[in-house]
């Protein structure tokens, strides 16, 4: 983990209430892996940092995709080119990626809403040895879908919206059976009900027997495993999302315990 006072390069509203911020920070950019996150100091009025996934990395720069969900993230929207941002990271355990011969694997990547935040960097990371990368992206409406043009070239994108304004009308999980059969690895990030649905309906979704990894979005106070505020129950005992995750095997989580989240 490293602390850097980062230079803000850009900070623009990409979708309604969702911003893409680029920061210059050599050490964080050099060390970050897909699936990791940083803890951001949002302003003097907020004593706790906010966890935000590493969205992309280019040379000495890295990007954060964040939704405005409270006072802290709202303060981030006011940062402009040349502003400074206090960041700790990279933190957590990201996706375990083992290089394979080029053209070997097929990845199915499932993003529900802001769940695309940690998954874009994963697409970049696995692209060199994949024969196929399919991205399923779901949102409430077309305006809230992550722009296809910002995904790495070569990824095939299929969309779903609750209101039918783009792609399939319905939930993104409706599309999983169509694409899961040919996938070697499945990765997902999104709202807890979406992940729980995947865990409880693996046969129906044709996920049984496949490696399925999820990135969990949880409230975090410290990000260091000290406060135990993000503790969850797993088949291997109590785990902390910030320290042991945020990436877990779908079948490792005791999902009955997640009903209250």
Question: Where in the chain are the domains?
Answer: 2-91, 105-258
Confidence of residue 113 (pLDDT cuts 50, 70, 90): very high
Q: Are 91 and 39 in contact (CB under 8 A)?
A: yes
In our burial notation (b when 16+ CB lie closer than 10 A, e otherwise), range 194-210 reads bbbbbbeebeebbbeeb
Residues 58-78 have pLDDT tens digits of 999 999 999 998 888 999 999
CA–CA distance, 259 with 14 (Å, rounded to integer): 31
> pTM of the full predicted structure?
0.92
Asked if pLDDT for residue 223 goes beyond 80, the answer is no
Query: If you average pLDDT over every residue of the chain, what do you get?
Result: 91
Name beta bridge partners: 105.
130
The per-residue pLDDT for 228 is 72
Question: What Cα–Cα distance (Å) separates residue 160 from each residue in 106, 144, 173, 182?
Answer: 21, 11, 9, 20
Task: Kindly give the pairing relationship between strand 185-189 and strand 212-215.
Answer: parallel
> Which homologous superfamily is 2-91 in?
Translation factors (2.40.30.10)
Candidate CATH numbers 3.30.930.10, 3.40.50.80, 3.40.50.20, 3.40.50.10070; the one for domain 105-258:
3.40.50.80
Confidence of residue 261 (pLDDT cuts 50, 70, 90): very low
* CATH topology agreement for domains 2-91 and 105-258: no
As a whole number, mean pLDDT of residues 128-135 equals: 92
Q: Are 111 and 137 in contact (CB under 8 A)?
A: yes
């Amino acid at each position: 983990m490293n602390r850097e006072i980062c230079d803000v390069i850009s900070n623009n509203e990409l979708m309604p209430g969702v911003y893409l911020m680029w920061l210059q920070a050599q050490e964080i950019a050099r060390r970050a892996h897909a699936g990791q996150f940083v803890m951001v100091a949002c302003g003097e009025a907020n004593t706790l940092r906010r966890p935000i996934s590493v969205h992309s990395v280019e040379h000495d720069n890295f990007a954060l995709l964040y939704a405005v969900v409270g006072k802290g993230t709202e303060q981030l929207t006011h940062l402009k080119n040349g502003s400074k941002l206090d960041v700790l990271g990279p933190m957590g355990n990201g996706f375990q990626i083992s290089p394979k011969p080029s053209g070997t694997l097929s990845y199915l990547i499932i993003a529900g809403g802001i769940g695309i935040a940690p998954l874009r960097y994963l697409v970049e990371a696995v692209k060199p040895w994949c024969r196929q990368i399919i991205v399923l992206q779901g949102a409430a409406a077309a305006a809230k879908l992550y722009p296809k043009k910002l995904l790495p070239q070569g990824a095939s994108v299929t969309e779903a919206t609750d209101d039918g304004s783009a792609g399939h009308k319905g939930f993104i999980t409706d599309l999983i059976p169509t694409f899961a059969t040919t996938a070697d690895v499945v990765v997902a990030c999104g709202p807890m009900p979406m992940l729980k649905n995947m865990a409880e309906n693996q046969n129906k979704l044709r996920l049984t027997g496949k490696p399925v990894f999820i990135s969990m979005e949880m409230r975090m106070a410290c990000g260091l495993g000290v406060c135990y505020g993000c503790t969850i129950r797993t088949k291997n005992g109590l785990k902390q999302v910030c320290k042991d995750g945020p990436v877990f095997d779908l079948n490792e989580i005791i999902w009955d315990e997640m009903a209250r989240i």
